[in-house]
Amino acid sequence: MATTNERVDKFLSKELNENRNQIEQLIKKGLVKVNSKSIKKGGVKLKQGDIIEITFPKTEEKESKKADFDIPILYEDEDLLIINKPPGVVVHPAPSYKEATLVDWLKQKGYSLSTIAGEERFGIVHRIDKETSGALVIAKNNKTHEFLSNQLKDKSMGRYYLMLLNEPLKEAKCVEAPIARNPKNRLKMAIVNGGKEAKTLFVPIQDNLTAAKLFTGRTHQIRVHLTKLGRYISGDTTYGKKEQKIPRVMLHARELYLTHPNGQKLSIIAPLFDDFKNLIQGIDDEKISSLSNIFATYDGMCYKQ
């Protein structure tokens, strides 16, 4: 029974044993009524004797496409899964994409996954582009999904990236420039006044190999901020040169750091795939063994006033 002035979203979360994100989705879809009237906000205050009606949507299980690829698993327990996404694999289905995705592979393997993001994005907390490879965390339940999503918001969870540039960087650079849709090409992003704030730290490792840390999470952020430095990632024909022979964007999410729901700090390193590894023969492995140690030295660059 609700107490007087209790919020409807808090009450339903408690009664249904669901997180408030799930309840908010029901409310937004007009599926929650108080005294026969649909409500639009979870903050509606209840009075003793109010009657709440909920219509649960029918889940139509869409046919999954057969995934004829495999995904390396870096870490797994009852709450989450961390994988090393290969290049060429799309994370979740989209109307314009007809092939099997990571979500199809997860369903095919029988994983129990969170449902907060909807059927098309079961378990997907964050994503990386099709051509980008590397570490990706997947939530197995809604509680874990919400816990990790909050870390994304407060930046306590993140990734360090490795990339091959067309030309080496001479020194570490912090780029802080707003990003928005390119007004001249809707398929691209660009540095645009009035866009969303974005900050990236780039650190040269050896020769053309460079590492990056994102302080924000904008679409194509690394690739857009590199344009400000007069650089692009090898294989990137969108922001770089069209005549490149390298078959994909040489960008790899090398290290993922987060706090597990049990309070444990995790730092997971994703091995490089052969197509990337073959292009950096002669690179000292010690230099890329733990990027967190490198960025501990340079982080202060992005905090200077």
296: Cβ contacts below 8 Å, ≥ 6 apart: none
- How many CB atoms lie under 10 A from the CB of residue 26? 19
- How many CB atoms lie under 10 A from the CB of residue 14? 13
270, 87 contact by CB (below 8 A): no
Q: How far is CA 85 from the centre of its chain?
A: 12
b/e sequence 106-118, b meaning 16+ C-beta within 10 Å: bbeeeeebbbbbe
Q: Rounded CA gap, 296 and 20, in Å? A: 36
252, 272 contact by CB (below 8 A): yes
Q: List active site positions.
A: 129
DSSP for residue 235:
T
